[in-house]
Structure 1
Amino acid sequence: MPNATFTPARAALLWRTTRHLRLVQIIGRAWFRLYQPRPDFAPPPPLAAPSGPWTPPARRVPSLVSPTTFRFLNEDGSLLETGWDDPARSKLWRYNQHYFDDLNAEEAGVRAGWHRALILDWVAANPPGIGSGWEPYPTSLRIVNWIKWALAGHELPPEAVASLAVQARWLTKRLEWHLLGNHLFANAKALLFVGLWFDGPEAARWRQRALSILALEVPEQILPDGGQFELSPMYHALAIEDLLDLVNLVRARGRPDDVDLSRAAADWCARLSLMFGWLAILSHPDGRIAFFNDSAFGIAAENAELAGYAGRLGLVVPHPPAGALRLPNSGYARLAKNEAVLLADLAPIGPDYLPGHAHADTLSFELSLGTQRVVVNSGTSVYGFGAERLRQRGTAAHSTVTLGNCDSSEVWSGFRVGRRARVIDAGVGGDADTLWAEGAHDGYVHLPGHPVHRRRWELGPTGLRVSDSLAGDEAEARYHLHPDIEALQDEPHAGHLLLPNGRSLRWIAEGGSVHIARSSWHPEFGLSLPTSCLVVPLRDGQATLSLNWA
């Protein structure tokens, strides 16, 4: 809603959105806008000596397809045509240019010459403090990637070493206290990398600043059940990689007599075990993450890459459990029986003061049979402030119940949330035959009649039953299907789902007249795949859908 006219309704929306902010965010936003630091061009500190070997980290898919051609978000662009900050490109695409992820991607060694030239070009073309590349988040990721590239055995050019010091000094003046969350974490990670790469008093100050922030943020951001507190499986995987990198860094560059650093690394290792357990719970049998809140493939390293990285560091990665469980702090539930795995959103949308990556997806779910995803949420393909971003965050893009045109949580703009759905009466259980999960949310109680959505999942050996209760004439349960699934309807309330291996699932609905609607699935940024959606209107406030795969 940029440049929207100020009205009482807009004032109320802003109040519902901003009243959850912390004081540090409000003060930090004012400071970030008003304070204009100057770059510090002092000579860089001396380099520190290594204290141990650097372990090969997780690898991403390459994003540099020629010496000057990038592929980000499924969109190609030539540096010769776009430069480093082309306003015709999306902000996220330009950010990716400045991350330098390709320095540590698959088979990065064969592109080392490209990388060295690209680093030198960046230093020459991006004056300190000017443009997207000097914003704190891309600065943080670039610092880490340059140093990881050097730790892998490559020699940073002198211009890059000098630039690293300038970037670090700049970053200390642009820490993202107004955003907190993964942004501030990335800032601290970068300061620890540069603080252990360099030596001397200035580097020590960077280290101490980093450790002081991490001492606050790690317990805040990593919940006791292992979940990253923004409750996005994608950002959770990014957080795992961050902590693995920090453990790796301390072993390679930390000093044995640095007690604070050693204690921090031990704490990170302990948390990583829980974090990998959480990732396993929120992943499908295909080995990839579920799509709750902002989530897509291709941004974080794949689960197998992260597990391999952990193994090289000597950490044990747990396997996903069978049966019924609910993560006590995150709220998500998992039902796993025989070949079926169901993942259910009985979670809050995220931290109240940081809901930027939240979707209105409360009581949504995803279902797999073996390695085939069947019921899905729509995923995420765009950031920014457009209509498509808003649609993908909305309730109708998820496998849950909509009520008219209202979202269960009041998502707006690109990363804002007003009213937030709260989960109540949540639980899981089961016996030898059937597993169940259930819960309700209050996201619609501000509407006439104060309706509450209640949902129950029952997973048996050969079938699933989903029951919904929500008063309202326009309530509809939506079941978005994976693009591999063909939906057929042979009766007003029944039909089949055809899997790509030829298998057929029988679906039977109880409620209003069912129809099959067009939908889309967004497994990666910049990628939209057509699919279909079963839409089951609630009749007299009730509806059920049964799937049978006997």
Structure 2
Amino acid sequence: MKFNQVYYRLFYYLKKVKITSIVSSGCSSWRWSGETLYNQSIFKNDIVLFLNEGGVVNSKNAWNSPQYSKLWLYNLHYFDDLNSESYAERELIHYQFIDRWIAENPACFGNGWEPYPISLRLVNWVKWFSRKESVEQKYLNSIAIQADALTQQLEYHILGNHLFANAKALVFVGAYLQGKDAKRFLDLGLKILDREIPEQFLDDGAHFELSPMYHEILLWDLLELIDLAEVSQNPSLVERHSQWRVVAEKALRWLKTMMHPDGEISFFNDAAIGIAAKPHQIFAYADKLKLSYEVNKKVLMTNETSGYSRVDTGFFTLFFDHANVGPDYLPGHAHADTLSFEMSVGVQRVFVNSGTSLYGVSAERLRQRETSAHNTVVVNGKSSSEVWSGFRVARRAYATLLKSDETDGVVTLSASHDGYKRLNPKIVHKRTITSNAEHFTLLDELSHPTDASFHLHIHPDVLIVNAEKQKLTLQLPCLTLIQFECECPLILEESTWHPEFGVSVSNKKIVVPFNAGRLSAKITILKDKS
């Protein structure tokens, strides 16, 4: 961890938030007209749905009920429904829900007063109230008090996307409210963003936590900041507007390289569908903001700074992870997935990493982060990076890209990682992918012979139509056949795939044990069965 992370953990443990009564001086006249994003999550004054799990909020205690997960309760306090696609249909319910929140969540008590929920709620409230012809003073005062509480617990102990969300909230509040407190919020938010945007967005456009899902979240945040600058015409925002646009355009291009042909993201590190904006929503918003993000289509595209490559032959699309787990001081959303890959044929995903269905501390959360839940090699039953607890990584793999080349339609990608050097003997894993238009080979090499196993997860919609000792034939819903063959006997196991939070879908995985320090496998698109 960085010194600041240690310091602020101790600082916040010893120093408690002090709530002071703030009377807002009023609000600005600009009206938010940005894109709506979320699905409906509030259905009545007390009926809600988050993470595919329904709930009832019918008492003061329900806001912090132990029957729900921490992440579910966080979502309850976000108020995303205020900016859902059908928000205008529920104005009365929204007022009731806001009034209940203010009355039933005393200052500095419970999940709702933690900095991350405060941040997301403030942005949603500011957008929603900015659309009203008039706003009662009690709501403006509540926004100011919440923002002041946020300034006292900014997430310097976590950093990353959390601190970015804190800063965005302060900027939204500072641009909306009027008076000296508003200026204080705005100046502090911009000071943080001036430091965090260059650090969190890498040279190739990727968000530095290397999760396509969090990349979507942070990119959407950046687009909204650009939109806020344009709609509010606040001089401090306008001053940064052009710089933010340059960063956003790079981030949009990176997102394009990490999308499957079905229009959704690849699953590396913490990633799932339905948490962030969908890619088509992000690109539509970018179009509205007149951002440029076209990518020259090539068979091989390598994002060297972030560590991901994409191969698109016209027959299949493959994504190869030769990245590190993320910033050393912030690996909370990392999986032990180094040198894993995903593959689609046409718009159908065929080989998939397992995805993410839950947070928290549990055996299932740990399993989803382990190497065996991804399409790569496990050595001596260990993961390539020591993931533990819900968001922790101890000794971790560092990857090196050895080759990225495309010549006459033949692509060669080669990379290695040192995550198994903590074992005895010390092992370096090298993977080489060689592809032409209709097939590719995987060569996994270990620096010493040892017990190892190759893992490959099959999308639930793909059928196994023939299984032999060292060969499988798979059938896609469109009837295209895929053949997998390898040097050693394979095993079929039951597994699960997690495309969304709260969702687990049964699927099959291929496991190939080997101990010679080398395994070759070939994947071929055969023909259309029809």
TM-score (norm 1): 0.93
Q: Larger relative CO (CA 8 A, sep 6+): 1 or 2?
A: 1
Asked if residue 142 in structure 1 is aligned to residue 121 in structure 2, the reply is yes
Partner of 1:244: 223
Deviation at 1:456, TM superposition (A): 1.1
The Cα offsets for residues 236-283 of structure 1, whole Å up to 9 and x where unpaired, read as 00011101111111112233xx2x422322111111110000101111
More divergent stretch after superposition (152-161 vs 495-504): 152-161
Structure 2 counterpart of 1:71, one-letter code: L
Asked if residue 345 in structure 1 is aligned to residue 345 in structure 2, the reply is no
Q: 1:154 to 1:275 in 2, by over 3 A?
A: farther
| Two-structure CA RMSD over aligned residues (Å) | 1.5
- Partner Cα distance (2:350, 2:91) in 1: 42
Deviation at 1:339, TM superposition (A): 2.7
Deviation at 1:46, TM superposition (A): 1.9
Say which SS state the counterpart of residue 390 (structure 1) adopts: helix
Deviation at 1:392, TM superposition (A): 0.5
- Partner Cα distance (2:186, 2:405) in 1: 47
Q: 1:117 to 1:514 in 2, by over 3 A?
A: same
Partner of 1:492: 469
Say which SS state the counterpart of residue 527 (structure 1) adopts: coil
Deviation at 1:488, TM superposition (A): 4.2
Deviation at 1:28, TM superposition (A): 0.6
- Partner Cα distance (1:68, 1:320) in 2: 49
Deviation at 1:445, TM superposition (A): 0.9
Say which SS state the counterpart of residue 484 (structure 2) adopts: strand
Conservation of the 8 A alpha-carbon contact between 1:280 and 1:320: no
Aligned partner of 1:121 among 92, 100, 108: 100
More divergent stretch after superposition (378-387 vs 429-438): 429-438
Partner of 1:54: 32
Conservation of the 8 A alpha-carbon contact between 1:332 and 1:345: yes
- Partner Cα distance (1:85, 1:30) in 2: 25
Deviation at 1:405, TM superposition (A): 2.1
More divergent stretch after superposition (393-402 vs 423-432): 423-432
Asked if residue 91 in structure 1 is aligned to residue 91 in structure 2, the reply is no
Structure 1 residue runs of 4+, over 4 Å off? 153-157
Q: After TM superposition, list the pairs within 5 Å mapping 1:93-492 onto structure 2.
A: 93-153=72-132, 156-255=135-234, 258=235, 260-319=236-295, 321-470=297-446, 471-492=448-469
Say which SS state the counterpart of residue 422 (structure 2) adopts: coil
- Partner Cα distance (2:523, 2:304) in 1: 28
Give the share of equivalent positions with the same residue, in percent: 41
Partner of 2:24: 44
The Cα offsets for residues 136-177 of structure 1, whole Å up to 9 and x where unpaired, read as 000000000011112344754443222101101111111111
Asked if residue 77 in structure 1 is aligned to residue 55 in structure 2, the reply is yes
Q: 1:534 to 1:149 in 2, by over 3 A?
A: same
- Partner Cα distance (1:247, 1:184) in 2: 18
Q: 1:472 to 1:78 in 2, by over 3 A?
A: farther
More divergent stretch after superposition (278-287 vs 484-493): 484-493
Gaps of at least 5 residues in structure 1 are 1-20
More divergent stretch after superposition (341-350 vs 34-43): 34-43
The Cα offsets for residues 184-240 of structure 1, whole Å up to 9 and x where unpaired, read as 111100000000101122211111111110011000101111010000000000011
Conservation of the 8 A alpha-carbon contact between 2:365 and 2:390: yes
More divergent stretch after superposition (188-197 vs 334-343): 334-343
Gaps of at least 5 residues in structure 2 are none
Deviation at 1:58, TM superposition (A): 4.3
Structure 2 counterpart of 1:41, one-letter code: S
- Partner Cα distance (2:73, 2:195) in 1: 30
- Partner Cα distance (1:132, 1:426) in 2: 46
- Partner Cα distance (1:251, 1:134) in 2: 30
- Partner Cα distance (1:492, 1:43) in 2: 74
TM-score (norm 2): 0.96
Conservation of the 8 A alpha-carbon contact between 1:237 and 1:303: yes
The Cα offsets for residues 10-58 of structure 1, whole Å up to 9 and x where unpaired, read as xxxxxxxxxxx111101011011111122111212221233xx633324
Aligned partner of 1:516 among 492, 496, 514: 492
- Partner Cα distance (2:298, 2:43) in 1: 42
Q: 1:279 to 1:156 in 2, by over 3 A?
A: farther
Partner of 1:11: none
The Cα offsets for residues 442-494 of structure 1, whole Å up to 9 and x where unpaired, read as 00011112111111112211112111112443211111111111224432111
Paired positions, count? 524
- Partner Cα distance (1:508, 1:176) in 2: 49
Partner of 1:15: none
The Cα offsets for residues 341-360 of structure 1, whole Å up to 9 and x where unpaired, read as 11111001000000000000
Aligned partner of 2:46 among 59, 68, 76: 68
Partner of 1:3: none
Structure 1 counterpart of 2:486, one-letter code: A
More divergent stretch after superposition (304-313 vs 392-401): 304-313
Partner of 1:502: 479
- Partner Cα distance (1:293, 1:150) in 2: 36
Deviation at 1:320, TM superposition (A): 6.9
Structure 2 counterpart of 1:524, one-letter code: E
The Cα offsets for residues 409-432 of structure 1, whole Å up to 9 and x where unpaired, read as 011111111111011243211222
- Partner Cα distance (1:445, 1:261) in 2: 48
